[in-house]
Amino acid sequence: MKEKVVLAYSGGLDTTAIIPWLKENFDYEVICCCIDCGQGEELDGLEERAALSGASKLYIENIIDEFCDDFIVPCVQANAVYENKYLLGTSMARPVIAKKLVEIARKEGATAICHGATGKGNDQIRFELGIKALAPDLKIIAPWRMTDIWTMQSREEEIEYCKAHGIDLPFDASHSYSRDRNLWHISHEGLELEDPAQEPNYDDLLVLGVSPEKAPDEAEYVTMTFEKGVPTSINGEKMKVSEIITKLNELGGKHGIGIVDIVENRVVGMKSRGVYETPGGTILLEAHQQLEELVLDRATMEVKKDMGNKFAQIVYEGKWFTPLREAIQAFVESTQQYVTGEVTFKLYKGNIIKAGTTSPYSLYNESLASFTTGDLYDHHDADGFITLFGLPLKVRAMKMAEIEANKKN
């Protein structure tokens, strides 16, 4: 019997060409595995395409709820944003995909897993670190790094390769944006975006929504509830997390929310420019932070901010299945015990504007915060506090004055 390889299959030109390539160069039985993280209509027609290309089997695994509950929610709770802008849409999906690829490989008794990520990107790292952590015995095949036997360097060459192997597919050689989509976001790279001096052509580029200029002229109010840092409803309607993200995508896209143009630092050392659409995710993160402002104390917020940045870096670098991620997530989850309440905001032309926050665990005390003197705060107490708080500054200033005086003498 032939050895089996599980191919991470999207149905695009690259992974379609990889099927006959694997059979020709390794004599593998190819089992395609398409992981549904919310790609939508991109999954249409995959079964026929995979079979036509020579795959012996195709798995289409719907993991949308697992993706939302076990991967997106921890990142939202951590307020994890890479380099202050990127909401980790692709980064969060890769570990759950790797996990499912390993499960299928075990089920099929496969000896290898293959992916179509390029040798310049982050995804090769994310896929392979996940596979190594979960199945160190499995062989990993990365065609784009095997330049001695993977000789195709363009869409034209891939199309010709497929035709030569009897695969006539509805792809053309015209170049378009390179995109990655799931329930959380869609990323865009290529074309004019490869030149940071050029403005994105939003009319052609946007998929999930409109630019702020084309958004409605009237604001729309939205109310959300959270329980222990997990979103539970929109406008009074209880929903599971995946449904909430879907609804927020609709609302955010309508109002031009969550469009980010960024030049980011890839793990492999280069800078890359891309545009991300994350309408629902942008709203969800902002709403969660709006509630945390009311509930978390200053010291916890300070440390949590640092942990959130570290969490984002870990996820971006593909290190999900590590003790450090587990430890930071445990800290974050402990901070969410009282992040419960209701958040109201309005969406208007790319903006998320606060419109009120309440929580049974709010640390906001009107008596303390008011400009009038309340029972809990005596203005005279500030004298001693400032004296002690500023003592290091005063001592240093006195010492510097003493040194200057000695120089003059």
Show which residues are catalytic.
Answer: 14, 94, 123, 178
In angstroms, the Cα distances linking 217 to 169, 220, 256, 264 are: 44, 10, 11, 32
Write out the two tokens for 39. 């790609």
* Contact (Cβ atoms closer than 8 angstroms) between residue 331 and residue 77: no
| Rounded-to-integer distance, Cα 206 and Cα 74, Å | 27
Cα 43 from chain centroid? Answer: 21
> 125: part of which helix (H) or strand (E)?
helix 123-134
* Contact (Cβ atoms closer than 8 angstroms) between residue 273 and residue 262: yes
Q: What is the DSSP string of 206-257?
A: -SSS--GGGS-SS-EEEEEEEETTEEEEETTEE--HHHHHHHHHHHHHHTT-
| DSSP annotation of 199 | P
| DSSP annotation of 86 | B
Shortest CA distance to 229 belongs to which of 324, 308, 120? 308
Q: Give me the residue label for tokens 């009282």.
A: 338
